[in-house]
Amino acid sequence: MNKRKIIISVAGIVILLCGFFISKLLSNTEKPLPASANSTNETKAVVRTSVVKNGAVKSMLSVTGRVIAMDRVDVFAEVSGVSQYGARPFKTGNTFRQGEILLKIDNTEFLSTLAASKSEFSRLLAQTLSDLKLDYPDVYPEWKAYLVNFDINATLPTLPEIKNEQLKFFLTGRNILSTYYNILQSEERLSKYVIRAPFSGTLTESNIDRGTLVRTGQQLGEFIRNGSFELEASVAYDQLKFLKQGMGIQFTDVRGNDEFKGSLVRINNKVDPNTQLVKVYFRLDDIRLKSGLYLKGEIETVTYENASELPIQSLVDDAFVLTINKGIAQKTPIKVMAQSSEKFIAIGIPEGAKVIIDKKNSAFAGTEVIEM
C-alpha cells in the first residue's frame, strides 16, 4: 500500500513539473518581438507624386473621328448585260481620271434594236415626204434635206422646227414625232452601257469581274475622290461656344506619326438626346489620307490663370486631390475648371504641393505614405 502511494506521489510531481515547463514555454512565445525587429515601412504605402506648379494653363478640347471621303459614289448598273473593262481593270485600288471609262456593259443587242428603230423612222419620213410636198410645200425642202442626211449609225439629229400647228398635227398622225422621241429615249439609255468616272478618284470597292452578267440595279462598286476628305466628331453641347466655322485645327493619326491640317466646315443643329453630344465636321485636303483612318486633334478653348494640370487619376470625389503633409496623405479641396478623359485643370492647390497621382488614391487618405 505504501508502495502505491509513493508511485502516485511521484506521478503527481512529474505532472506538476511538466505543466510548469509548458506554461513557461507558452508565455515566452506570446511575448512581442522587440520594436526593432519589425520594419516600420510595412505600415506605409508607397505612392507616386507630382509637384504642383501653378500658372497659366490652356484648356484644350479634344476631337477624335474617322476620315471619310468628301465625294463618294456608289456605282450601280442601270442596264443589264455582260461587263467589260474600261480604261483599266475594274479592281479595288485602281485610279481613274475624270471622264475615263470605269466599266462597259456589252451593248451589241441594244445597238441592233436601236438601228432597227432608226431604219423604221427613216421609212416613215420617206412615206411622209410626198404628202408634205403637196400639202406643205414651204417646209418640204427642209424635211427632204433632213432625210437625205439621216444616218442610222449616227446620233439622231434634231428635227426641223415645226412652226405650223397643222403641220404638227399632221406629223403626229403619221407617228413621226412619237417615233422620234422613242429613239431619243433609246439613245439616252444607250449611254448607260458606258460608266465614266464623275471625277478623278480611286475605286475602293469592286463587286464584279470582267465577263460577269450584270443585272439592272446591281451595285457594282464604290468610287471616291482623291485627296478630299471629311472627319466627323462629337463634342459636348456646352463646348459649342468655342467652335466657329472656318477655324483651323491640327490633326494627328492615332500613332502620332503624321500631321494633317483641317478646318471646321459644318456644325449639326441637333443634339443627341442620349449623350448630349453634337456632330461637327472638319474638311481635310491631303493626298496622304485614306478613308477609314482615325485622327485626333485639339482645339484651344480657355486659358486659366494660377491653375495646374494633373492626370485624371489624381482627382478624388470630383472635388479633391490627395496631398502629402508630414508624410500623411490628406484630402485637399480644389475647384475643377475643365477635364478630359486623361487630364484635368484645377485651381486651389498650394504651390509646390505634392499630389498623389496613383490610381484609386482615395484609399491612401489619412495613411502614412512614402514617395516613390
Helix, strand, coil abundance in the chain, percent, nearest 5: 30, 40, 30
In angstroms, rounded to a whole number, what is the distance separating the alpha carbons of residues 128 and 168?
Answer: 13
| Structural element, H or E, at residue 12 | helix 2-29
- Check residue 361 and give its pLDDT: 73
Calculate the alpha carbon distances from 265 to 66, 233, 247, 288, 293 in Å. 16, 12, 8, 20, 19
pLDDT value of position 5: 61
Per-position b or e across 279-315, b if 16+ CB within 10 A of its CB: bbbbebeeeebebebebebbbeeeebeebbbbeebbb
Among 111, 113, 139, 138, which Cα is nearest to 125's? 139
Domain boundaries, the chain: 46-57+304-371, 62-68+228-301, 78-217
Instruction: Note the Cα 226 to chain centre separation in Å.
Output: 17
Report CA torsion sign: 20, 26, 28, 32: negative
SS (H, E, C) 35-73: HHHCCHHHHCEEECEEECCCEEEEEEEEEEEEEEECCEE
CATH class of 46-57+304-371: mainly beta
Sorted by sequence, the CB contacts under 8 Å of residue 289 that are 6+ apart come out as: 67, 227, 229, 260
What is the bridge-based pairing of β-strands 277-285 and 228-236? antiparallel
The position carrying cell 461656344 is 241
As a three-state string, the secondary structure of 245-261 is CCCEEEEEECCCCCEEE
Per-residue pLDDT at 82: 93
Residue 205: CA count within 13 A, CB half-sphere = 13
CB atoms within 10 A of CB 83: 21
Residue 372's pLDDT is what?
A: 72
pLDDT at site 7? 63
Q: Are strands 369-371 and 45-47 parallel, antiparallel or unpaired?
A: parallel
Contacts of residue 188, Cβ cutoff 8 Å, sequence gap at least 6: none
CATH topology of domain 62-68+228-301: Elongation Factor Tu (Ef-tu); domain 3 (2.40.30)
Neighbouring residues of 301: CB distance < 8 A, sequence distance ≥ 6? 58, 59, 60, 61, 239, 242, 338
DSSP per position, 104-136: EE--HHHHHHHHHHHHHHHHHHHHHHHHHHHH-
Which portions of the chain are predicted below pLDDT 70?
Answer: 1-43, 362-363
Which cell numbers hold the place of 365?
A: 487618405
Rounded CA-CA distance 217/75 in Å is: 10
- Which stretches does DSSP call E strand in 149-257? 194-196, 201-206, 213-214, 219-225, 228-236, 248-253
- Confidence at residue 20, expressed as pLDDT on a 0 to 100 scale: 60
